[in-house]
Every structure is written in C-alpha cells, then in structure tokens.
Amino acid sequence: MTTYDNDNIFAKILRGEFPCHKVYEDDKTLAFLDIMPRSPGHTLVIPKAPARNIFDIQPDDYAAVARIAKKIAIAASKAFQADGVTIQQFNEAAGGQVVFHLHMHVQPRHAGVDLLPPASRKEDPKVLEEHAARLIAALRD
C-alpha cells in the first residue's frame, strides 16, 4: 500500500495553504464544503491526523470523523430540509478514493432527486458561502 502524501489537497487545507468553506472544526476533525458538490450542502469530514484511508487511520481518529459526520448529517438535514442523507467513505483507487486523505462525504438528499455525477461541476463560491452559513447556523441550534 502507498504511504501518506503530505502534499495532498486536504493536508494543504489543514495547514492553511489552500482555502475551504469551513463549517466545523475541533481538535481531531475539520468539516468543509465540497467545491464540486453532488447535492446542496455536500460536506467533507476529515481527520486532522495524517491518514491515507481506513487501512491506516487510528481507531479513535476514525471514531471522531464518524461522530462529526453524524453531527453534520443532522445539521445538514435541518439546514437543507433534506428527506435523507447519504454518507460515503472510499478507500484506495479501486474503492473509488480520489483524494488520499481519509474523508467522509455527507450529502443531504431529497426524494426523487439524484446526486450529481462526481466532479461534474464546480459550485459558485457565493453559493458555497451561503450553504456554509446555513450549516453553521444549524450546528448552533
């Protein structure tokens, strides 16, 4: 298995070298909007620990990501009046992983509305700002 790459985009976001639309942060995790969302409010939850995927993350770091994914799912459901939420986590290229820093996708869903194809369009930054504000407000409730 390949080792962790400290220059992946999420590592750069964690170091503040690349911007993101942050919605939540604590000592173990960071949650921010996907810039190519498959649904409005599509959020990524990542560990601050340098973990490539499920094969090398420490159990307590993975548990922290899962806890925050649940927190984001509840907030996103409120913020976007979602009928449901899809949570996905991919491992290695054959498993669908594209960015090799462990992350969970939290995607609010509406009945009868399909997810957009992966990486099909980059969202307008103003829309992302508005979605981040909605999620942050819902997290405070």
Q: How far apart are CA 14 and CA 46, in angstroms?
A: 9
Residue 140's H or E segment, with its range, is: helix 125-140
Dig out the tokens for 2 from the structure: 């390949």
DSSP string, 74-129: HHHHHHTT-SEEEEE---SGGGT--SSS--EEEEEE-TT-PPPPTT--PPPHHHHH
Q: Residues 103, 105, 110, 131: which is the catalytic one?
A: 103
Report helix angle 59-79 to 125-140, nearest 10.
100
Distance, C-alpha 88 to centroid of its chain: 9
Longest dimension (CA), the chain: 42
Active site residue 103: yes
Active site residues: 103
